[in-house]
Structure 1
Amino acid sequence: MVRRLGLDRETLLIAAAELADEAGLDNLTLSALAQKLGVRSPSLYNHVNGLPDLRSALAAFCMQHLVDLIRDAVIGKSGEEAILSLSSSYLAFARQRPGLYEAFYKTDASESPEVAKFGEQLLNIFIRILEPYGLGEQNTLHTIRGLRSLLHGFASLEQNKGFRMQLDFDESLNFVLRAFLKGLESGA
């Protein structure tokens, strides 16, 4: 296999993420990626095994960035401060990288060991910031599902222009997060 000088998997994923952010994940094709990179489509097969493999790799690429971003956001914080910081970072990522974020939630972690690895890391961050609430293992997992649903719901609705009322998005999010936190505090 002859590889184009300067083209490696990382370069390919960066370009794919840019395309996904610009046009949406569903519009990411090998042809469009090849054009962006200035290569012929068959050259991409030196780095990925087709579009499903590219999307899986893109999901892992996304999750690695999301884990790093969230980990940095919660370092030295706990409880409410950590949850609010995590939430803010999560939504900022979804806003800044819409196509990459789409890869995050449209990939089945059970089909990719790399995605599963980063998923586990993300889960562990959530678990650690919820420890001060003393919820127990099962309730912590329920809480993580609820918080992720809340964050994804806000991100998804915002991306799809689902909030049509003249209320500030961030004020609504802050209100709902504070209500969520009050529920955690009363349940702990």
Structure 2
Amino acid sequence: MPRAGLTSRVVAEEAARLCDEEGFDALTLASLAKRVGVAAPSLYKHVDGLAALRREVALMGMAELNEVLRGAAVGLAGAPALRAVADAYRRYARAHPGRYAALQHAPRADDEEARRVAAGPVSVLAAVLRGFGVGDDQSVHAIRALRSALHGFVHLEANGGFALPEDLDESYRLLVEGFVRAFEGWPTGAASRTGHT
């Protein structure tokens, strides 16, 4: 008999908590069923298998990250906006490592809901870049560069990839400041294609 009060939303939230505590790869129907106090087959009343459950965790993470980044950027533009958004990104990744791991895969082309939710954080970054004068023709390239750098740092940090004693906060600050300078001089239009400024 299913636990009283168990709903699809509760199942997804518990799955997200399990991912944050034990890692995204630790999420299985058996581990979640044990956590919520039901037999694994009972979960099928609330979710269509492990792939669907992982998708729900990713959607939750994308929506939360969007809210966090959007909140950090409110009222700011240019360099202050980038600094605030980058700090919020790192805080979210550190606070919710399982959810953060879940949202690292691009949604399937036929998953319209996931694509819509995933567009949220991207739209925040695009707005920040417009504050630097980075045009729509270069926005995707600039966002890919920034996301690669921020993700690389938080991933290495989370996995013990930095062994030297120098302060990690200062390293991250310098990384972000490098992007402030890069975006202040980011090439646009024909200049980016010809190599001329």
Q: TM-score range by the shorter chain?
A: over 0.9
- Assess if the C-alpha contact under 8 Å between 2:3 and 2:37 holds in 1: no
Q: TM-score, normalised by structure 2?
A: 0.89
CA shift for structure 1 position 108: 3.4
Q: Does 1:29 align with 2:28?
A: yes
In structure 2, the residue matched to 1:95 is 94
Q: Deviations over 1:46-104 (max 9, x none)?
A: 11111001001110011111111111111111111111111111110110111111101
- Assess if the C-alpha contact under 8 Å between 1:109 and 1:119 holds in 2: no
The separation in 2 between residues aligned to 1:55 and 1:107, in whole angstroms, is 13
Q: Deviations over 1:17-41 (max 9, x none)?
A: 1111111111111011011101111
Stretch of structure 1 that moved more, 127-136 or 147-156: 127-136
Which amino acid in the other structure matches residue 103 of structure 2? F
CA shift for structure 1 position 187: 3.0
In structure 2, the residue matched to 1:66 is 65
Stretch of structure 1 that moved more, 33-42 or 131-140: 131-140
* Structure 1 pair 141–106 and aligned structure 2 pair: CA distance change class (3 A): closer
Which amino acid in the other structure matches residue 84 of structure 1? R
CA shift for structure 1 position 113: 2.6
CA shift for structure 1 position 137: 1.4
The separation in 1 between residues aligned to 2:66 and 2:107, in whole angstroms, is 17
The separation in 2 between residues aligned to 1:109 and 1:173, in whole angstroms, is 32
Which amino acid in the other structure matches residue 147 of structure 2? R
* Structure 1 pair 26–7 and aligned structure 2 pair: CA distance change class (3 A): same
Q: Deviations over 1:136-174 (max 9, x none)?
A: 212121111111111100111011111111111110011
Q: TM-score, normalised by structure 1?
A: 0.93
Which of the two has greater helix per residue?
Answer: 1
Which amino acid in the other structure matches residue 87 of structure 1? A
Q: Does 1:148 align with 2:147?
A: yes
CA shift for structure 1 position 111: 5.4
Q: Deviations over 1:94-133 (max 9, x none)?
A: 1011111110114634353332111112111111111122
- Assess if the C-alpha contact under 8 Å between 2:2 and 2:38 holds in 1: no
Aligned-pair Cα RMSD in Å: 1.6
The separation in 1 between residues aligned to 2:83 and 2:184, in whole angstroms, is 14
The percent identity for this pair of structures is 36
CA shift for structure 1 position 14: 1.3
Computing the radius of gyration from Cα coordinates, the structure with the larger value is: 2
Count of equivalent residues = 187
Which amino acid in the other structure matches residue 19 of structure 2? A
In structure 1, the residue matched to 2:165 is 166
Stretch of structure 1 that moved more, 23-32 or 115-124: 115-124
Structure 2 residue runs without a partner (length 5+): 188-197
- Assess if the C-alpha contact under 8 Å between 1:70 and 1:89 holds in 2: yes
Which amino acid in the other structure matches residue 149 of structure 1? S
The separation in 2 between residues aligned to 1:170 and 1:111, in whole angstroms, is 39
Q: Could you say what secondary structure the match of 2:134 adopts?
A: coil
Which amino acid in the other structure matches residue 177 of structure 2? R
CA shift for structure 1 position 3: 6.1
